[in-house]
Amino acid sequence: MTSNIHPNAIVDPSAQIAEGVKIAPFAIIGPNVIIHEGAEIAPHAYLEYCEIGKNSIISSGAIIGTAPQDLGYKGEPTRVIIGENCQIREHVTVNRASGEGNITRVGNNCMLMTGSHVAHNCQLADNVILANLATLGGYVSIEQFAFIGGMVVLHQHVRVGEMAIIGGFSGARQDIPPYAKTDGRPAGIIGLNTIGLKRRGLPPEERKELKSAFHYIWFSGLNTRQGIEKIRREVQQNKYVEHLIEFIESSKRGVTKISGKQDHIED
């Protein structure tokens, strides 16, 4: 199978286009682009300084790989890497990194919904979803299976843990821990992302231990250090509890606090 490049598409001579790639009319493929097998580029998409993984779809109006919105960027060579089987929907923007040789990265099986923005040096793991108009500042890091709601704003350098969910219209200046359900501006902990954990196949006993860990950290009146000590003494350890503790202890911005709205008593 050969590439299907419409004659009204513009493709820079430096672009590397694999077999089976579809490029629609009026798409623009700029310099230093690599597009792997099975990818589809819709009309009026613009790509430069990026790599698009197998079977990913870049929708109309999406702009991938343009210069970062960073006053410190001086034109040094950087790029964007989009993983396999991603859906990059209409008018999404993903800026290339700042700092020579650095990469803005979107993992495999991600969906970036209409109008969402991924700033320079962001790192998205596999299976991340950004809902419409979600906005990530520079250097944001998001772990696997996290869901970022519509119109959410994340401050630069914020981390979001795996399987966390952030409710729409929220804003976060501090790290969002793994497995958390958060909402508000600033985003606060509501409880455990029980539905997300069930969807990921966590058995009841592991969800129970995470629920106990969340109680000690956010809902017991203990401070963070005391809560972690209590977890280590009284909660059965598993990889999820251990990751939660590691995430909190490694936070440089601090982890978000409890919200006024709570439903942590869910099973």
Residue 146 inside a domain? The answer is: no
Same domain, yes or no: 22 and 101: yes
pLDDT at residue 253, as a whole number: 95
Q: If you ran DSSP here, which 8-state letter would residue 95 be given?
A: P
Residue 258 inside a domain? The answer is: no
Q: Among 236, 182, 187, 188, which Cα is nearest to 213's?
A: 236
Backbone Cα Rg of the chain: 20
DSSP sequence for 52-69: E-TT-EE-TT-EESPPPS
The CATH number covering residue 226 comes to 1.20.1180.10
Query: Which residue, 94, 113, 139, sits at the end of a domain?
Result: 139
Angle between helices 224-234 and 204-214 (to 10 degrees): 150
- Determine the structural domain holding residue 226 and report its residue range: 197-249
Residue 159, C-beta contacts closer than 8 angstroms, at least 6 positions apart: 140, 141, 142, 143, 175, 176, 247, 251, 253
Same domain, yes or no: 123 and 214: no
Residue 148 inside a domain? The answer is: no
pLDDT, averaged per 10 consecutive residues of the chain (267 residues), comes to 87 96 98 98 98 98 98 98 98 98 99 99 99 98 98 98 98 98 95 97 97 96 96 97 98 89 51
Residue 16 inside a domain? The answer is: yes
Same domain, yes or no: 217 and 109: no
In order of 94, 112, 156, the CA distances from 70 in angstroms are: 13, 22, 12
| Domain count along the chain | 2
Report which residue type is found at 231: I
Same domain, yes or no: 117 and 236: no
pLDDT at residue 3, as a whole number: 73
pLDDT at residue 263, as a whole number: 58
Same domain, yes or no: 113 and 224: no
pLDDT at residue 176, as a whole number: 98
pLDDT at residue 262, as a whole number: 58
Residue 20 inside a domain? The answer is: yes
**Beta strand spans in 149-221 (E):** 153-154, 159-160, 165-166, 171-172, 180-183, 188-192
Consecutive H or E run containing 51: strand 50-52
pTM more than 0.85: yes
The CATH number covering residue 23 comes to 2.160.10.10
